Amino acid sequence: MMVLSALRPDANLVEFLEYRARSAPVSRLIAQAIVAFALVSGGFSRLPFAKSVVGTFGGAYFCYAVWGLLDRARTYSTNRGRTLTAQYLKVLCGLFVGIGVLSGLVLLLAIWFLALGSSWQL
């Protein structure tokens, strides 16, 4: 008997992102984290225009990639019976989800201020 591994048609954004991060290979998540770190460092230091948009997008993308790696490690620890390690990794996952959501909200504000022509800078 085969198990259907695809998402249901009415899946929301959170379920889609969870499925995508959990099905991605570790090498892809590491590459995403490296690219996101480069976006954050380049966005806040080199770009004179719209650096808040690039930096906060990179921050949200970095948190997503690190969450995927931490979730993979948490699942591995849970399967091996290391409950204390799994609990710590669960707290770290929650921390990166919170930082990622906050970075996404700041990204929306940065796009909004940029579209309005404000001189708001991070």
pLDDT of res. 1: 44
pTM (2 d.p.): 0.78
pLDDT of res. 110: 84
**Crossing angle between the packed helical segments 51-80 and 26-45, to the nearest 10 degrees:** 150
The single-letter code of the amino acid at 121 is: Q
DSSP string computed for the chain = -PPP-SPPTT--HHHHHHHHHHHS-HHHHHHHHHHHHHHHHHHHHT-SSSHHHHHHHHHHHHHHHHHHHHHHHHHHHHHHT-HHHHHHHHHHHHHHHHHHHHHHHHHHHHHHHHHHT-----
Query: If 0-12 CB within 10 Å is exposed, 13-18 middle and 19+ buried, where does residue 71 land?
Result: buried
Q: pLDDT of 49-82, one tens digit each?
A: 677 788 888 889 999 999 999 989 998 898 888 8
Q: Which residues of the chain have pLDDT under 50?
A: 1-2
pLDDT of res. 62: 92
**Residue 85 in contact with residue 76, Cβ under 8 Å?**
no
pLDDT of res. 43: 64
The single-letter code of the amino acid at 62 is: F
- What ranges do the domains of the chain cover? 24-116
